[in-house]
């Protein structure tokens, strides 16, 4: 069927429905738009109504929104860019102000307070109205500061620049009613142990996450290669385990990152992976590490260097619990990850100290692992934290996990049902959909095939096809908290962080906010998503995020579907 899908005088054959290009990502779950252009008045301002004490981080967010509305300079991705609208803008109605208000009479808490609440009790919903009348007032209403913040993010995405400094929306009136996420966990994981990332790199990542309403930053901060995290009471871990004195996250750095994230609606989940992935601890505490630097490493670890905590030792369990407690109690999140993946049994079989500890206690290795886990998780429970673990702890080991434990499924998307069958809550992060490092070749030098274990490259289109509820029963569906993209950084650094992650990682942000259906009732699909993702990419670049282009630009320059027959 011949459908004219864009302003350029070209007719193309299009598969499916012709959609207008919105810069909305993620797409709201409820959306009505018109066809009127509305420009911001020179005196446009944002006001808060009905709140006696406005939280400072909400005031700061409002200030940033006003700045971005004038500085983004994103022009519509159509032939002619913003010039196609100049004639209409000359007589377009002006928007005089945006009013934010909170429903109800409860005390309004800060964005950070709301964003770091228990995962099941966060309130992110909002309603938005953008009128098409001259001198009109736009509104955002919510029942929390976090909801208002999400609404501000949507409001920013409605506007473009005409190339001469006029900021305008082209599809007014806009009505969004009760938009809220399908899932509370919409995350991104960054590994800062294999390669170090400065605080500024992490802030830039958090900025990108905020743009797409992600809610959870999973910080895989330490691993076998380095220990850059400062732990109160254990300075030797970083002094001897960091790559250098300049590649350490001080206690002040940690609080800066946590606060920067929280004021942008993002909770920070810190992970100290245990008992595996801990070889670097041997540099300061060799008594607690089995198989440190053992060779050949392939026999003792999934990647070099070898070394893991002596889990059968009560002293090691208490040492680990102390490390976890000393950092976890300084963090606002209600969650903390103890990891638990890729345990190497041969290491413990070959470690004389572990074998002696097992014999003295009369325990099997699995029983010792359970006791180790009860110690570390018991410490978290005592300070009000919920433990988060990798899927092996639930599926491969005989470990008793509380029903509150959150399990991250990473090996395969097919394993989700086995986790929910145990009555445990889960976060989707499967390597077959959401691993951003796949397809870059193998980093381990002795792999003659040269392919990464999780080939092929996971495109945004592949991630966008993910079904969070596949193979789950109706009773198991409430156990799905959401999902996240993951970047393991053996081959990534600050130099390619932005381009390998964005806007590709945003695919899951829409899956877990919008859900399976678009506002018109049709299933989410790459045809509708591509032009919106292009807009997101260009806006990210405007904000200093070096996001990679998705496809040749000619595709984006047509205001409609890029899924073409010819």
pLDDT of residue 37: 96
Rounded to two decimals, what is the model's pTM?
A: 0.94
The answer to whether position 17 is within a domain reads no
CA 539/CA 83 separation, integer angstroms: 18
Same domain? For 142 and 232 the reply is: no
DSSP assignment of 57-94, as one string? HHHHHHHHHHHHHHH--PPPSSTTGGGGGHHHHTT--E
Same domain? For 236 and 140 the reply is: no
Residue identified by tokens 């990534």 is 492
Query: Under a CB-based contact definition with an 8 Å cutoff, are residues 148 and 169 in contact?
Result: no
pLDDT of residue 81: 85
Same domain? For 137 and 275 the reply is: no
The answer to whether position 539 is within a domain reads no
Within 439-525, where are the H helices?
460-464, 497-501, 506-514
CA 303/CA 298 separation, integer angstroms: 7
pLDDT of residue 522: 94
Average pLDDT by stretches of 10, the chain with 566 residues: 28 33 88 95 96 96 97 89 89 97 88 98 98 96 98 97 94 96 98 98 98 98 98 98 98 98 98 98 98 96 97 98 98 98 98 98 98 98 98 97 98 97 98 96 83 94 97 96 98 96 98 96 94 94 92 49 38
Paired sense of beta strands 185-191 and 480-487, if any: parallel
Paired sense of beta strands 289-290 and 308-309, if any: antiparallel
Domain limit, last residue, from 179, 206, 231: 179
pLDDT of residue 551: 66
pLDDT of residue 561: 43
Same domain? For 60 and 86 the reply is: yes
Phi, psi of 49 (to 5 degrees): -120, 135
Greatest alpha-carbon pair distance for the chain in Å reads 86
CATH value at residue 414: 3.20.20.80
Nearest to 501 by CA among 268, 188, 200: 188
The answer to whether position 171 is within a domain reads yes
Domain span holding position 502: 185-514
CA 353/CA 51 separation, integer angstroms: 62
- pLDDT digits over 170-229, tens only? 999 999 999 999 999 999 999 999 999 999 999 999 999 999 999 999 999 999 999 999
DSSP assignment of 305-322, as one string? SP-EE-TT-HHHHHHHHH
Instruction: For residue 476, indicate whether it is catalytic.
Output: no
Query: Under a CB-based contact definition with an 8 Å cutoff, are residues 62 and 48 in contact?
Result: yes
Same domain? For 381 and 468 the reply is: yes
Domain limit, last residue, from 179, 195, 225: 179
The answer to whether position 444 is within a domain reads yes
pLDDT of residue 84: 87
The answer to whether position 13 is within a domain reads no
- pLDDT digits over 297-328, tens only? 999 999 999 999 999 999 999 999 999 999 99
- For the chain, how many helices (H) and strands (E)? 19, 18
The answer to whether position 30 is within a domain reads yes
Q: DSSP label at 248?
A: -
Task: Identify the three-state secondary structure at position 146.
Answer: helix
CATH value at residue 117: 3.30.379.10
Same domain? For 354 and 393 the reply is: yes
Q: Which of 32, 236, 247, 342 is catalytic?
A: 342
Same domain? For 460 and 481 the reply is: yes
Same domain? For 413 and 443 the reply is: yes
Same domain? For 210 and 342 the reply is: yes
pLDDT of residue 20: 57
Phi, psi of 336 (to 5 degrees): -150, 135
Residue identified by tokens 């800062």 is 192
Same domain? For 333 and 399 the reply is: yes
CA 25/CA 186 separation, integer angstroms: 13
pLDDT of residue 446: 79
Query: Under a CB-based contact definition with an 8 Å cutoff, are residues 175 and 183 in contact?
Result: no
Cis-peptide, bond into residue 26, ω within 30° of zero? yes
Nearest to 428 by CA among 202, 257, 182: 182
The answer to whether position 111 is within a domain reads yes
Number of compact structural domains in the chain: 2
Task: Identify the three-state secondary structure at position 22.
Answer: coil
The answer to whether position 541 is within a domain reads no
pLDDT of residue 552: 53
User: Which residues 6+ apart lie within 8 Å of 313 measured at CB?
Assistant: 288, 353, 354, 357
Same domain? For 284 and 168 the reply is: no
Domain limit, last residue, from 124, 152, 179: 179
Same domain? For 233 and 367 the reply is: yes
């Amino acid at each position: 069927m011949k459908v004219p899908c864009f302003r350029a005088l070209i007719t193309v054959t299009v598969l499916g429905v012709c959609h207008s290009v919105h810069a909305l990502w993620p797409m709201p779950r409820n959306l009505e738009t018109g066809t009127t252009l509305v420009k911001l008045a020179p005196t446009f301002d944002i006001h808060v109504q009905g709140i006696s004490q406005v939280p400072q981080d909400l005031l700061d967010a409002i200030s940033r929104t006003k700045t971005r509305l004038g500085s983004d300079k994103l022009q519509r991705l159509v032939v002619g860019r913003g010039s196609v609208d100049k004639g209409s803008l000359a007589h377009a109605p002006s928007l005089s102000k945006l009013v934010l208000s909170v429903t109800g009479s409860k005390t309004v808490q800060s964005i950070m307070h709301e964003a770091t609440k228990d995962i099941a009790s966060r309130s992110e919903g909002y309603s938005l109205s953008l009128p098409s009348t001259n001198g009109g007032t736009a509104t955002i209403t919510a029942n929390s500061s976090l909801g208002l913040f999400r609404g501000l993010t949507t409001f920013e995405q409605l506007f473009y620049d005409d190339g001469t400094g006029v900021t305008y929306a082209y599809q007014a009136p806009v009505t969004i009613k009760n938009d809220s996420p399908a899932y509370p966990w919409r995350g991104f994981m960054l590994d800062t142990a294999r390669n170090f990332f400065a605080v500024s790199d992490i802030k830039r990542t958090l900025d990108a996450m905020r743009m797409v309403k992600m809610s959870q930053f999973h910080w895989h901060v330490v691993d076998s290669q380095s220990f850059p995290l400062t732990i109160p009471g254990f300075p030797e871990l970083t002094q001897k385990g960091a790559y250098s004195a300049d590649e350490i996250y001080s206690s002040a750095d940690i609080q800066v990152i946590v606060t920067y994230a929280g004021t942008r609606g993002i909770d920070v989940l810190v992970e100290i992976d245990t008992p595996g992935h801990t070889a670097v601890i041997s540099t300061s505490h060799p008594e607690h590490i089995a198989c440190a630097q053992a060779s050949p490493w392939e026999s003792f670890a999934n990647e070099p260097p070898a070394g893991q905590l002596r889990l059968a030792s009560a002293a090691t369990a208490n040492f680990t619990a102390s490390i976890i407690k000393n950092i976890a109690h300084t963090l606002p999140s209600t969650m903390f990850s103890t990891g638990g993946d890729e345990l190497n049994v041969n290491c413990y079989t070959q470690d004389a100290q572990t074998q002696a500890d097992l014999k003295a206690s009369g325990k099997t290795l699995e029983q010792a692992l359970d006791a180790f886990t009860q110690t570390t998780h018991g410490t978290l429970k005592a300070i009000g934290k919920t433990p988060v673990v990798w899927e092996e702890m639930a599926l491969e080991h005989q470990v008793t996990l509380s029903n509150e434990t959150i399990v991250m499924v990473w090996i395969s998307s097919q394993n989700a049902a086995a986790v929910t069958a145990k009555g445990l809550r889960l976060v989707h992060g499967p390597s077959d959909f959401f691993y951003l490092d796949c397809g870059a070749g193998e980093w381990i030098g002795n792999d003659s095939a040269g392919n990464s274990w999780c080939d092929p490259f996971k495109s945004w289109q592949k991630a966008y096809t993910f079904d969070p509820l596949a193979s789950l029963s109706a009773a198991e569906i409430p156990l799905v908290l959401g999902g996240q993209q993951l970047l393991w950084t053996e081959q990534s650094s600050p130099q390619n962080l932005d381009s390998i992650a964005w806007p590709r990682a945003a695919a899951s942000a829409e899956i877990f906010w919008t859900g399976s259906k678009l506002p018109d009732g049709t299933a989410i699909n790459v045809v509708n998503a591509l032009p919106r993702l292009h807009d997101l990419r260009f806006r990210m670049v405007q904000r200093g995020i070096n996001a990679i282009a998705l496809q040749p630009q000619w595709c984006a320059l047509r205001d409609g579907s890029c899924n073409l027959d010819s």
